[in-house]
Amino acid sequence: MQSSYSEVDPELLGLISQIKLIVFDFDGVFTDNTVIVSEDGKESVRCWRGDGLGIKRLSELQLQTFVLSTEANQVVAKRCEKLKLRCFSNCADKLVVVKQEIINMKLSLSEVSYVGNDINDKDCLEVVGLPIVVQDAHLDVLPLGRYRTEKPGGYGAVREVCDLFFKAHQIKAL
C-alpha cells in the first residue's frame, strides 16, 4: 500500500489512469467522524473547506464523482449540494448502489475508486479497481486500501485524493 502521494509509483499511476468514477463515503472522510448535537437534537458536522477546490479539480478532469453515505441526516445532502456532488444518503447497502450506478454509467468495477474509512465501506473497498482509505480508517479496512491518505478524514483527506488524481493526470499527460 502506498501511503504518500509525494512520489506516485508507476503501478498506482496505472490504476488511476483507468478510473472514471470516484465514490466517497461522507462521515469519517469528508468529516472527522465527529457529530455535534445541540440541545434540540439538531446535528452538525465539521468539514474541510479545501475539499471543495479539490472536487472542482476532479470535474476539470471529467471524472465522475458521488458521495455514498449510510447517514440519514440532511447535513450530508446539504454539504454535497454546496459542492455540486451527487449524493446517495441513508443507504443501507452501499455496494448495491455502486453496482447499480456503474450499470447506469456503463462502467465496470475496475474503473471505480472508492474512498472509505470504516467497516460499512468494506464491501465496496474489496471490489473496486482502486480502494482508498483515509489515514485514520478503522483497523479492519486499513489493509484493503491500495492507497492510504496522509491526512485523516475531515482534515484534508478528500483534497489529498483529489490532488493525487490531478497530479497523476498531469504526469500521464507528459
Indicate the DSSP class of residue 27: T
Beta bridge partners of 132: 115, 147
pLDDT (tens digit per residue) in 128-144: 999 999 999 999 999 99
Give me the count of residues in the chain. Answer: 174
CB of 12 closer than 8 Å to CB of 147: yes
Decide if domain 10-173 falls under CATH 3.20.20.150.
no
6: confidence class by pLDDT, cuts 50, 70, 90 = low
- 68-89 confidence digits (pLDDT tens): 999 998 999 999 999 999 999 9
How many CB atoms sit inside 10 A of residue 166's CB?
A: 18
pLDDT of residue 126: 98
Question: In the chain, how many H helices and how many E strands?
Answer: 6, 8
Q: What is the pTM of this model?
A: 0.93
